[in-house]
Amino acid sequence: MRPGHLFGLETEYGLLIHNPEVGIPPEMLVHQVRDHLFEQHKVGLIDRHHRAHDEPPGNGGFLLNGGRFYIDMGHIEYATPECTGLSEMVAFDRAGDVLLHQTLVDMGLSEHASFIKNNIDYETGATFGAHENYLVSRDFPFTERGLGRLVPFLVTRQVFTGAGRLGANFVPEGYMVLGDPEFPKIPFQISQRTDHIVSDFYQWVQFNRAIINTRDEPLADPGRYRRIHLLLGDSNLSEYATALKVGTTALVLDLIHEGVAPDVAILDPVNALKLISRDPERRWEICLEDGKPITALEVQRDYLDAGKKYLSGQSDDIDWTLKAWEETLNDLETGDSEKLVGRVDWASKLWLLEGFMAEEKLTWDDPWLKSLDLEYHNLDPERGLYFGLEAEGKMSRRTTLESIQQAMKMPPVETRAAGRAMLLRKLMKDPAPYMFNWTSVYIEGQHLSMVDPFQTYLKEAKVFLKTVNLL
């Protein structure tokens, strides 16, 4: 039997320096922000132990909302707590954004720097991650055939999950899209991460970015659960796009688990990713393994139809996802991207850029546009173009200001994040030696196992605190 839905997001943030004369190198500023979060802002407890070879003591820590801030490859990264609902997950995702921006404000540096929630550095060609985590049962068909049913969906979902970007990055050897050496110079494509995906399956994250990461690291009871870890997606600012990305992917995993997912086989999925993202006409035509043409929207329709047939009516989140999925595909099929403004990030950004170009009489190669592209992702509400659209009521919402503010301080109430946060809060009042991990907590040398993400562990945490004389 498949478990209920449980998911989380991990976001690596870029840093935009407005005033280099401040004299703080970006890598130093990231560490100062981390220190301010934990030492001044008191968002949680900093790690006092080695978590891995690249995570020394003090690299990051767990938060009172059940999530985690840490530094990864020079970027500050935020992992949401374990969430069971789409609106809940979106609120916790945005909570990390707000905490980071507020920290710059508290430090008096918001005029000099901004965090940006995107996936590319135009100067170096580097990419930042936007990872997704989905819990499935251990009997999920984690095989080439089973995961092969997921790949076509992931390749084509970028038509509504892409964040959009100017131009293109390098083309890996052997993947000269459309056979045209000038094709990488396209003015705009719908996804930021596709240029950096080089294989369909691979175990490690940093050295060979794949459509599906196959590392077996459940962060839960390994006898009962497995974690599907995806790193091919873009960072979304649109709440609608975030919810739809996670909602549709969770449903497709359900279909695969039940053995009713569409049997679609795409020819060369890595190349198909790039074909779809870079198609200037947005026809999104690719080929099946048998050579027959098919469009990304047709592939998505196959999965949507299966979801409506087998999963409809099982929960409010599932029904919202199916309805939003169908409405989005209907609007995409018209070929009018303006119909997606306010819901899909790439369409909203394109609308802004094209409007600005027309007003200022610019061409796509004007460097001004790169600045505007980055400003779409700026987490400063006074600067970010996304926030301008939101303030005008143009962005579809899944949260409220109140739900985001609560998610900054309080954990989800139906997962083990609740017990973890309770222990954190107690230790912040009554310090004692500690060590926190996703699946366990050590205090005063005593151990509390938290291997079931669906348990709150609140009762167990109270008993544990008495055991270590903290209650």
Taking only the tens place, the pLDDT of each residue in 325-369 is 999 999 999 999 999 999 999 999 999 999 999 999 999 999 999
Instruction: Yes or no: say if 75 and 14 are a contact pair by the CB < 8 Å rule.
Output: yes
Give the pLDDT confidence score for residue 176 in this predicted structure.
46
Alpha-carbon dihedral sign for residues 217, 465, 454, 44: negative
Give the pLDDT confidence score for residue 97 in this predicted structure.
98
Taking only the tens place, the pLDDT of each residue in 10-51 is 999 999 988 877 778 888 999 999 999 999 999 999 999 888
Average pLDDT over every residue of 124-142: 92
Give the pLDDT confidence score for residue 175 in this predicted structure.
47
Crossing angle of helices 417-429 and 458-467, rounded to 10°? 30
Give the pLDDT confidence score for residue 124 in this predicted structure.
81
Domain boundaries in the chain? 138-331, 425-467
Phi-psi region of 444 (alpha: psi -120 to 50; beta: other; left: phi over 0): left
User: Taking all residues of the chain, what is their mean pLDDT, rounded to a whole number?
Assistant: 93
Give the pLDDT confidence score for residue 169 in this predicted structure.
79
Per-residue pLDDT at 416 exceeds 80: yes
Long-range contacts: 326-331, Cβ < 8 Å, 24+?
Answer: 328/160, 328/244, 329/160, 329/297, 329/300, 329/301, 329/304
Catalytic pick among 47, 54, 72, 195: 72
* Residue 352 to residue 368: CA distance in whole angstroms: 13
Taking only the tens place, the pLDDT of each residue in 209-250 is 788 888 889 999 999 999 999 999 999 999 999 999 999 999
Determine whether 331 is an active site residue. no
